[in-house]
């Protein structure tokens, strides 16, 4: 789509020359920087002052090797990211003040970054060059954070310009050399980086594609001096983005979940925004329905407050930068998305830019948003939507309010990006509070993206809502398996005024050893009344038992034929409140037990606190053909 509408010869005629493109005011343009709200200026200047004279944290080889040796990637990533934040804060502070006070420290940050052997993460070296535990300086590879570093240096040079020469004329030359060597040359010369999509192998493409491309594009537009190379790089970026766009259905969605939307569709928008600006508005695809729906996913997957639909490696809590959401909504002309973006923004306009992390996102937050937004700040809370591409249904009782039932249910397959084995799973919220939940994902480590991924409990179907586990003689604990072949069958979604319904056959998600001929599940939101699950199954041979479970942050009381989910405080400092519900089940069929699932991981703990409760339903010696009925009510 992009590359055919805007081939290289067209790009050559519409791209503004590098010296003519000024997307944001430089340090020499004092008026826009001085016109920013005083609270904004004070916030960023305070951060810059805290960075003055700071020691740049060391990145020794042994810290990098921790990923290969013990599977820990967080220690290195945290230190490297601290370096990036220091440089960011210093550059922005110098632009705000303009008196040279921060320049020496900026020079230290630029030089320190340029001296790093590798700008990316340890896990990503191994992902691109198998078996490598330290980066190979003779074979530069480009990952997410090599691209982030490249763009940060490019923005720093573009904003500060000649002022850097007051410290040393070698600074800008060094940046140009390193960005060319590590980013511009390898990306232009090679087609085998999997994220490009030209030779993806088993990966396919995911958020890496637009995320890296957005930073590559910024680096090209800001630093590439050769007009022919500049056009060739932009043309190649468009071809790569086309592959990413091709993985999406017209209805949008994001199989990686709302937490990754910010680096999937949102990074696509950043590419389109840069290109719109760098062509004087001549490259404009915002009227495309797929591009628009990819943006709208972020409010269609919103439940209430900061809760979102979190299938796959996504957190149940997510608050994307309001500036990004608002600007995307304005570009596609979606007033609901603009309202959502306005609602996500800090109430104090002086704090704009605080939610964003990188220079490329802070600058538009500061300069591209009107001071008085022309929309009401409110979450749209649409009544329902069916994401046909990823086969996820979302529905609530009444549009525009979090009151009442909210249901999200999924079909799909078990090879989605950042996949969990969760076909047929669902979540339930009542009055905007969680009752039946998906745990999400723990802090990433080596095992997360290894062949042992599905040994992690959060990834297993046994820990997703009411997905059956089969105990057979000599083969206990048979669950869903990973892979695209393990997919939902006979998927149908339907809405009307009275209900929203998803029907799916789960049999194809299990191995042959399960002996499962059919497991037809119908998940229904009866608006204003209940969430109902109807399961009808056929087994090829007898099973010893079938176990089904669910996770909840609520307190749990088990009675005869009913489980009560009791409101409880949870999360960090017991700062969140769970909802309340009653689950009716067949007491003659199931025994019920409750397990405490302790949470020791910081990422999960940041959402759920110290524990979740797992309610396990056990059917002993089930018939080979049967039906189960579950009903959640207030």
Mean pLDDT for the chain? 95
C-alpha to C-alpha distance for 315 and 439, rounded to whole angstroms: 8
pLDDT given at position 348:
72
Positive or negative: CA dihedral 586, 587, 593, 599: positive
Cα–chain-centroid distance for residue 218? 21
Average pLDDT over residues 224-245: 98
Is residue 133's pLDDT more than 90? Answer: no
Average pLDDT over residues 333-347: 95
For the beta sheet containing 433-436, the strands, ordered from the edge strand earlier in sequence to the opposite edge, are: 384-387, 392-396, 405-410, 426-430, 433-436
> What confidence tens digit (pLDDT) does each residue in 39-64 have?
899 999 999 999 999 899 999 999 99
Question: Alpha helices, DSSP H only, in 317-452?
Answer: 322-332, 335-344, 359-367
Is residue 128's pLDDT more than 80? Answer: no
Strands, E assignment, 237-306: 302-304
Average pLDDT over residues 206-219: 97
Q: Which tokens hold the place of 237?
A: 């970026």
C-alpha to C-alpha distance for 518 and 489, rounded to whole angstroms: 10
Is residue 490's pLDDT more than 80? Answer: yes
pLDDT given at position 130:
60
Percent over 70 (pLDDT), the chain: 98
Residue 238: pLDDT band with limits 50, 70, 90? very high
Is residue 256's pLDDT more than 70? Answer: yes
> What confidence tens digit (pLDDT) does each residue in 86-103 have?
999 999 999 999 999 999
pTM of the predicted model as reported, rounded to 2 decimal places: 0.96
Q: Which residue has the tokens 């300086």?
A: 137
pLDDT given at position 124:
87
pLDDT given at position 353:
87
> What confidence tens digit (pLDDT) does each residue in 591-629 have?
999 999 999 999 999 999 999 999 999 999 999 999 999
Better-scored residue on pLDDT, 558 or 200: 558
Q: What domains lie within the chain, and their CATH numbers?
A: 1-22+200-380 (1.50.10.100), 36-190 (no CATH), 384-633 (2.70.98.70)
Is residue 132's pLDDT more than 80? Answer: no
Is residue 129's pLDDT more than 70? Answer: no
Is residue 305's pLDDT more than 80? Answer: yes
Percent over 90 (pLDDT), the chain: 91
Which of these ranges, 131-140, 151-160, 217-226, 535-544, has the smallest mean pLDDT?
131-140
Average pLDDT over residues 182-203: 90
C-alpha to C-alpha distance for 619 and 624, rounded to whole angstroms: 12
pLDDT given at position 175:
98
pLDDT given at position 200:
66
> What confidence tens digit (pLDDT) does each residue in 622-633 have?
999 999 999 999
Is residue 1's pLDDT more than 90? Answer: no
pLDDT given at position 474:
84
Return all residues near 301 (Cβ < 8 A) that are at least 6 apart.
Answer: 254, 257, 258, 261, 308, 309, 392, 394, 408
């Amino acid at each position: 789509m992009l590359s055919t509408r805007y081939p290289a010869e067209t790009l050559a005629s519409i791209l503004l020359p590098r010296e003519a493109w000024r997307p944001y005011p430089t340090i020499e343009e004092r008026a826009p920087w001085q016109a920013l709200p005083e609270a904004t200026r004070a916030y960023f200047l305070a951060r810059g002052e805290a960075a003055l004279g700071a020691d740049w944290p060391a990145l020794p080889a042994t810290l990098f090797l921790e990923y290969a040796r013990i599977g820990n990637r967080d220690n290195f990533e945290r230190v490297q990211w601290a370096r990036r934040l220091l440089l960011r804060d210093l550059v922005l502070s110098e632009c705000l003040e303009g008196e040279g006070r921060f320049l020496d420290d900026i020079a230290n940050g630029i030089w320190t970054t340029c001296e790093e052997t590798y700008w990316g993460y340890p896990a990503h070296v191994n992902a691109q060059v198998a078996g490598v535990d330290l980066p190979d300086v003779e074979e530069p590879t480009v990952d997410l954070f090599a691209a982030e570093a490249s763009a940060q240096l490019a923005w720093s040079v573009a904003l500060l310009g000649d002022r850097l020469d007051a410290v040393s004329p070698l600074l800008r030359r060094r940046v140009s050399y390193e960005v060319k060597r590590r980013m511009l040359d390898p990306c232009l010369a090679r087609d085998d980086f999997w994220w490009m999509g030209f030779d993806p192998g088993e990966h396919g493409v995911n958020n890496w594609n637009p995320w890296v491309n957005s930073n590559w594009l910024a680096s090209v537009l800001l630093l590439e001096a050769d007009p022919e190379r500049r056009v060739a790089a932009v043309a190649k970026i468009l071809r790569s983005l086309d592959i990413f766009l091709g993985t999406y259905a017209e209805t949008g969605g994001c199989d990686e979940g709302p937490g990754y939307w910010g680096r999937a569709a949102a990074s696509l928008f950043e590419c389109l925004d840069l290109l719109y600006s760098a062509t004087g508005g001549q490259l404009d695809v915002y009227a495309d329905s797929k591009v628009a729906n990819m943006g709208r996913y972020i409010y269609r997957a919103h439940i209430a407050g900061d809760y979102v639909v979190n299938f796959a490696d996504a957190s149940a809590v997510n608050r994307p930068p309001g500036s990004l959401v608002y600007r995307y909504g304005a570009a596609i002309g979606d007033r609901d998305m603009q309202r959502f973006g306005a609602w996500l923004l800090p109430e104090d306009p002086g704090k704009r830019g605080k939610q964003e992390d990188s220079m490329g996102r802070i600058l538009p937050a500061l300069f591209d948003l009107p001071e008085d937004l022309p929309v009401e700040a409110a979450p749209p809370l649409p009544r329902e939507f069916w994401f046909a591409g990823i086969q996820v249904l979302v529905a609530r009782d009444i549009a525009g309010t979090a009151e009442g039932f909210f249901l999200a249910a999924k079909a799909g397959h078990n090879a989605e990006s950042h996949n969990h084995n969760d076909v047929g799973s669902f979540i339930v919220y009542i009055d905007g509070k969680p009752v039946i939940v998906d745990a999400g994902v723990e802090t990433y480590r080596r095992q997360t993206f290894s062949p042992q991924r599905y040994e992690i409990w959060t990834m297993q179907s046994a820990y997703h809502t009411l997905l059956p586990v089969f105990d057979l003689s000599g083969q206990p604990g048979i669950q869903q398996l990973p892979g695209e072949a393990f997919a939902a069958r006979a998927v149908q979604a339907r809405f009307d005024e009275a209900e929203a319904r998803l029907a799916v056959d789960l049999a194809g998600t299990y191995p042959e050893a399960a002996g499962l001929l059919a497991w037809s599940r119908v998940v229904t939101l009866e608006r204003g009344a209940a969430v109902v699950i109807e399961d009808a199954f056929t087994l090829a041979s007898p099973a010893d038992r079938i176990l089904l479970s669910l996770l909840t942050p609520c307190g749990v009381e088990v009675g005869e034929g009913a489980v009560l989910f009791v409101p409880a405080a949870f999360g960090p400092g017991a700062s969140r409140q769970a909802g309340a519900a009653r689950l009716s089940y067949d007491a003659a069929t199931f025994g019920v037990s409750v397990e405490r699932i302790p949470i020791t991981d910081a990422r999960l703990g940041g959402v759920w606190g110290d524990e979740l409760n797992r309610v396990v339903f056990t059917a002993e010696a089930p018939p080979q053909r049967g039906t189960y009925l579950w009903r959640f009510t207030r």
